[in-house]
Structure 1
Amino acid sequence: RPQVAGANLGNVVYLRSFRDALAIREILLSERHVVVVGSGFLGAEISSFLTNSGAKLSLLSRDKVIWQDLLDPETAQWLTDSYLEAGIQLLLSENLNGFEGKTVIKNIQTKSGMRFPAGLAVVAIGAEPNLQLVANTPLSSPSGCPVNEYLETDEKGIYAVGDIALYPDRIYGGAKRITNVEMARLQGLTAGANLSGRKRQKFEAVPSCSSQVLGMHFDFVGDFSTPHLLAEVEGSREKRNFIARCRRGETLIAAVLCNRDPAEVPVIQEEVKTSVLSRAKR
């Protein structure tokens, strides 16, 4: 939760479970001013979903554009313009200062001094891994739970997968912690196979995940840990059908696919893997 005043007021919802989604639906029956805080995956998806709610919808973010850390600047600006065209008020480059109200939220304040009404605030600013179970043990680190290439921790027979797993990346190099469902699924398959007693498997994957916003399906393939400043676009943003390939020098690091055939995703994954490993051999 954000460390700001009013974070525990009623109608300030932190979307973590199906129960939270039901709470949002219930609140919308009586409240018409909705503010979504955050413009990452979840914030963008919630804002898109709520465009059909009939509420006056605003999106508040400290970023300059939507999906700032996922898209090259030109594609991010195109997507941001699409949100404006959908009737969503965008409050960008603004930092949350606090929520106001006695028992339930009535207003939101930003650090720049803006103050506006809100009967419902949906906070989607990410989460930190819960490592309380292994606190003060070798299984915990500031960046997650360290594992080896088999996804096994320093404690023999104990494996970690998903959002908490800090694993050695056999493709890009270094240690990575990837927080999406598809990577958790793939890691679970590898760890499960290794636990079964069969021949052990090393975990290796080009990360991928997907999202749907404003009637568009996006697939993200590769490494998005650092911003991509340029992209080669195949297709058309305006026609909502394209692949944006992001390179570092001559190396293909990542790609974003919009409304493309799902069969293209593994092809792009292999393209990225080949390019990254070729760079490593040079």
Structure 2
Amino acid sequence: MSTQTFVIVGASLAGAKAAETLREEGFDGRVVLLGEETERPYERPELSKGFLLGKKPADKLYVHPADFYAGHDIELRTSTTVTALDPGAHEVVLDGGERLGYDRLLLATGASSRRFPVAGADLPGVAYLRQMGESDDLRTAIQGASRVVVVGAGWIGSEVAACARMLGAEVSMIAPEAVPLERVLGPEVGAVYRDLHADKGVDLHLSTGVDRIEGTDAATGVRTSDGTLVEGDLVVVGIGAAPRDELARAAGLEVDNGVLTDEHLRTSDPDIYAAGDVANAMHPFYGKRIRVEHWANALNQGPAAARNMLGAGTAYSRVPYFYSDQYDFGMEYNGYATEWDRVVFRGDPASREFLAFWVRDGQVLAGLNANIWDQADGIKALVRSGARVDTDRLADPSVDLGDLLG
């Protein structure tokens, strides 16, 4: 039996799947999984979707059944905060001063909601969404609000706005971008979401900044940069997330928009790995480091890191994937596009049943299937192939995606 101890900091999806994989791969040493929250590991996407709506119970969010960890000899310690890493001593320091030794360490600390740096942001009635308890509280607050003001039109802002409308609330959305999700999807696909929210009755204040949150004893609305008062007694802030890399930074690991890792998810310390939202990992397919804050990345990087902690030496090279559900509009996105020449549509975006492709120099960098559920594999293969395509054929629904691979 191994005398080694593997410690995982972050009882997240990535951390839980890493612990599971260590056992699946035959590691019989000590596995310790440390988490700050009171809950055992759970998946976060439904916090702004079905769980927020009250349609999906907590039991459907947990990564494993309650007896899984004891049954696999995994020491799950919830409500436990790691205050420091000591790479020289191969120890983590816990709140209360306990020091826990490790042979290999995995950082799966995730990300935290960016706080809103404006006056009034600390008033009662201002909410963020990152944890299960916050989603529970937010559902109750939405149901009791006269009007919900959502600040931010990224994934959290857009999905919360949709859920709030579906729960019957009056909703306003304020964002500096011209269309929702512009930074990720660009103006063309973002316009689909703009029209979707407008059609569902959301009061949109786009291309608009925020000066402050109004209120004395509680939030009463948001004052925009042009002086308009958008009234509301619940303000939900969704302005992005920041990687929780403070422990790594303080310990002297290389950090830049997350914890820097190689393609094996190994950090600048050979005995420390990182996975999930906190990892800015070298990706062999893209030839650069990328940090992806989405469910699939945590689901797959955790196991990959675990195998490499055991010496597998396998590069993590999956093409990024994410999904979103807003009202009756669902989508899946495969690929990674930060700059592109054009967006090619297959189908009419106004119908809300279409494919979209982000193309640069004739190469498909990413693709999205919206309310069409049999094309994701073809999109992924097209992205992975790196093939140069005829964009007229790409836009033609009669041409099978497989025929474009060359």
- TM-score, normalised to structure 2's length? 0.64
1:276–1:181 CA distance, 2 compared to 1 (3 A): farther
- Once the 2 structures are TM-superposed, how far is the Cα of residue 276 of structure 1 from its aligned partner? 6.6
Kindly indicate whether the alpha-carbon contact (under 8 Å) linking 2:175 and 2:209 is maintained by their aligned counterparts in 1: yes
Matched ranges for 1:173-192 at <5 A: 173-192=287-306
In structure 1, what residue type is equivalent to 2:302? Answer: G
- Matches of 1:14 and 1:41, distance apart in 2: 13
Unaligned runs of 5+ in 1: none
Kindly indicate whether the alpha-carbon contact (under 8 Å) linking 2:143 and 2:169 is maintained by their aligned counterparts in 1: no
- Once the 2 structures are TM-superposed, how far is the Cα of residue 274 of structure 1 from its aligned partner? 1.1
In structure 1, what residue type is equivalent to 2:362? Answer: E
Kindly indicate whether the alpha-carbon contact (under 8 Å) linking 1:32 and 1:54 is maintained by their aligned counterparts in 2: no
SS in 1 for 2:242: coil
Given the alignment of the two structures, is residue 8 of structure 1 paired with residue 122 of structure 2, yes or no? Answer: yes
Given the alignment of the two structures, is residue 39 of structure 1 paired with residue 144 of structure 2, yes or no? Answer: no
* Cross-structure match for 1:222: 335
- Once the 2 structures are TM-superposed, how far is the Cα of residue 52 of structure 1 from its aligned partner? 2.1
Q: Deviations for 1:105-145, whole angstroms, at most 9, x for unmatched residues?
A: 01211112111211001111111112121224442423211
* Cross-structure match for 1:52: 166
Given the alignment of the two structures, is residue 240 of structure 1 paired with residue 352 of structure 2, yes or no? Answer: yes
* Cross-structure match for 1:200: 313
In structure 2, what residue type is equivalent to 1:56? Answer: E
* Cross-structure match for 1:164: 278
- Matches of 1:65 and 1:58, distance apart in 2: 14
Identity of aligned residues (%): 28
Kindly indicate whether the alpha-carbon contact (under 8 Å) linking 2:337 and 2:358 is maintained by their aligned counterparts in 1: no
- Matches of 1:73 and 1:151, distance apart in 2: 33
- Once the 2 structures are TM-superposed, how far is the Cα of residue 169 of structure 1 from its aligned partner? 1.7
In structure 2, what residue type is equivalent to 1:119? Answer: D
SS in 2 for 1:19: helix
1:29–1:222 CA distance, 2 compared to 1 (3 A): closer
User: Aligned Cα RMSD in Å?
Assistant: 1.9
Residue of structure 2 aligned with 1:27, choices 127, 141, 152:
141
1:138–1:268 CA distance, 2 compared to 1 (3 A): farther
Larger C-alpha radius of gyration, 1 or 2?
2
- Matches of 1:44 and 1:238, distance apart in 2: 18
- Matches of 1:220 and 1:244, distance apart in 2: 9
* Cross-structure match for 2:375: 264
* Cross-structure match for 2:221: 107
* Cross-structure match for 2:28: none
- Matches of 1:147 and 1:75, distance apart in 2: 32
- Matches of 2:182 and 2:287, distance apart in 1: 24
Q: Deviations for 1:198-235, whole angstroms, at most 9, x for unmatched residues?
A: x3211101111100112111111111333x46222112
Mean Cα displacement is larger for which, 214-223 or 264-273? Answer: 264-273
Unaligned runs of 5+ in 2: 1-114, 390-406
- Once the 2 structures are TM-superposed, how far is the Cα of residue 162 of structure 1 from its aligned partner? 0.9
In structure 2, what residue type is equivalent to 1:19? Answer: G
SS in 1 for 2:135: helix
- Matches of 2:185 and 2:129, distance apart in 1: 24
SS in 2 for 1:128: strand
